[in-house]
Amino acid sequence: MSACRVPRRLASHRRTALFAAGAALAALTLSACGEGTSGGSEQTQFVEGKDGVERVAKKDRRPAPELSGKTTRGEQLNVADYKGKVVVLNVWGSWCAPCIAEAPNFAKVANETKAKGVQFIGINTRDSRESQAVSFEEQHKAPYPSLFDPTGKLMLRFPKGSLNPQAIPSTIAVDRDGKIAARSIGPLGEDELRKMVQPLIDEK
> Does the pLDDT of residue 49 top 70, yes or no?
no
Q: What is the pLDDT of residues 21-35, one digit of tens each?
A: 443 444 444 334 333
Annotate 158-196 with DSSP letters as a single string. Answer: SPTTSS---SBSEEEEE-TTSEEEEEEES---HHHHHHH
Q: Helix or strand or coil: residue 200?
A: helix
pLDDT digits (tens, 9 = 90+) for 72-122: 999 999 999 999 999 999 999 999 999 999 999 999 999 999 999 999 999
Which residues is 38 bridged to in the sheet? none
Residue 165 CB contacts under 8 Å (≥ 6 apart), including other chains? 89, 91, 123, 155, 158, 172, 183, 185
pTM for the model stands at: 0.81
- The sign of the torsion formed by the CA atoms of 78, 104, 28, 46 equals positive
Of the candidates 95, 77, 102, 106, the one whose C-alpha atom is nearest the C-alpha of residue 150 is 95
Strand, helix or coil for residue 93:
coil
Question: What percentage of the chain reaches a pLDDT higher than 90?
Answer: 71
| Banded pLDDT at 14 (limits 50, 70, 90) | very low
Please list, in sequence order, all residues whose beta carbon lies within 8 angstroms of the beta carbon of residue 175, skipping any fewer than 6 positions away.
Answer: 58, 61, 86, 181, 200, 203
Q: CA 64, CA 159: separation in Å to the nearest integer? A: 8
What ranges in 114-159 are assigned the alpha helix state H? 130-139
DSSP 11-69: -HHHHHHHHHTHHHHHHHHHHHTSS---S-SS----EE-TTS-EE--GGG-EEPPP-EE
Where would I find the H helices in 96-147?
97-113, 130-139
